[in-house]
Amino acid sequence: MAKGKLVRVGIIGLGAIGPAHIRGYQACENAEIVAVCDIRKDLAEHWAKKLKADAYTSYLELLKREDIDAVSVCTPHHTHAPITIAAAVHGKHVLVEKPMATSLMEADEMIRACREAGVKLGVIFQSRFLEGPRRVKEAIDSGKLGNIVLAGAVVKWFRSDLEYYHRDAWARCWRGLWATEGGGALINQAIHTIDLLQWFVGPVEHLYGLYGTYTHNIDVEDVAVAALKFKNGALGIIEGTVSMPKEHQVTKISILGSKGLIELSGTEITIWSLEEEKEVKEEKPQEETLKVKPTGHMLQIRDFVNAIIEDREPLVNGEEGRKALEIITAIYLSSRTGRPVKFPVEPLW
């Protein structure tokens, strides 16, 4: 338990997303970063000096410190489970980046370890905290759309072989590989939008999915599609790729109900009422609603810190963080077996 309503934090992993966590804790008056860790010593020392914190190259050494209440896990996907479980054993609360794990079995072990240790487990899905998605959620929950009929999630982005997957030795050692990244376009890029889709529409009954690798020199998928049947009867579509030309990239969610339609596209929310036959547009140019932005991390990190102080569940806990991973796992499984997959999905690996 944090002492004196101050949560002392260690940041594990200082690469691409680590600085977003650092900014999030810095913006939270009830948090203090006391230690940082990265296997790249120069990077750990750089941030330690900047933050006036202690530097580590071993997360196990960091976890031994009794004055650390919580850790953020910002490392490559395949390391999320072992670090989270070790942190729980050492009595630390954990905020882990998406995806929480590369398999449902690992995700379940993480949830179990944190429950048994009595520590909080939060999973980063910062888009849920932004105004655009929250307004869509409120509209759906209030019945403004009526009964949901059709829902779609589209994430068509570009990622370069040379600049992303094979940029340097660090990228090559884990990106684009099933064993370390756990997947490609779905589990890394589209996962935020898939999480919003299931948050808006509810649990999935079954789905049929396909994926392939067409334009990159990687093991994992760069294109994937899925057709879904939700438990409430609605039908759904997921499209994900990292092969889209840069000038045509798009992130979009559309929800059609018996009374209306909502589209969330970039920074714009569009609402059509089928009953009143009117269109309303709301623009929030200061936010990129569905993309990783520090603002979203700041809001979620604040909730995580407050959850520790108030002794409550984070708004996106382990069970919530698992839901998008289950959908993505089902798409991979369906494509490999050539058959629809029913939910709940059995943790096979």
Pair (66, 138) in one structural domain? no
267: left (phi over 0), alpha (psi -120 to 50) or beta: alpha
Pair (149, 271) in one structural domain? yes
Numbers of helices and strands, H then E, in the chain:
11, 15
Check if the beta carbon of residue 186 is closer than 8 Å to that of residue 117. no
Pair (142, 272) in one structural domain? yes
Pair (338, 310) in one structural domain? no
Helix (H) or strand (E) holding 101: none
In a domain, 76, yes or no: yes
In a domain, 332, yes or no: yes
Pair (94, 105) in one structural domain? yes
The residues that bridge with 148 in the sheet, in sequence order, are: 257
- Strands 235-241 and 223-230, bridge-based pairing: antiparallel
**So what's the pLDDT on residue 282?**
57
**So what's the pLDDT on residue 62?**
98
Pair (14, 100) in one structural domain? yes
**So what's the pLDDT on residue 274?**
79
In a domain, 263, yes or no: yes
Pair (33, 82) in one structural domain? yes
**Number of domains the chain contains:** 2
Pair (179, 121) in one structural domain? no
**So what's the pLDDT on residue 276?**
60
Pair (64, 191) in one structural domain? no
**So what's the pLDDT on residue 268?**
83
| Residue 49 belongs to domain with CATH number | 3.40.50.720
Q: pTM of the full predicted structure?
A: 0.94
The residues that bridge with 225 in the sheet, in sequence order, are: 210, 239
In a domain, 2, yes or no: no
**So what's the pLDDT on residue 44?**
98
**So what's the pLDDT on residue 280?**
58
pLDDT in tens, the chain (349 residues): 455 689 999 999 999 999 999 999 999 999 999 999 999 999 999 999 999 999 999 999 999 999 999 999 999 999 999 999 999 999 999 999 999 999 999 999 999 999 999 999 999 999 999 988 999 999 999 999 999 999 999 999 999 999 999 999 989 999 999 999 999 999 999 999 999 999 999 999 999 999 999 999 999 999 999 999 999 999 999 999 999 999 999 999 999 999 999 999 976 889 888 776 555 565 443 333 333 344 789 999 999 999 999 999 999 999 999 999 999 999 999 999 999 999 999 987 6
Helices (H), 4-40: 18-26
Pair (57, 134) in one structural domain? no
Domain residue limits at 331: 128-290+325-342
Pair (215, 262) in one structural domain? yes
**So what's the pLDDT on residue 348?**
75
In a domain, 196, yes or no: yes
Check if the beta carbon of residue 255 is closer than 8 Å to that of residue 138. no
| Residue 203 belongs to domain with CATH number | 3.30.360.10
Pair (97, 180) in one structural domain? no
| CA atoms of 285 and 140, how far apart (whole Å) | 23
Check if the beta carbon of residue 239 is closer than 8 Å to that of residue 156. yes
In a domain, 39, yes or no: yes
In a domain, 186, yes or no: yes
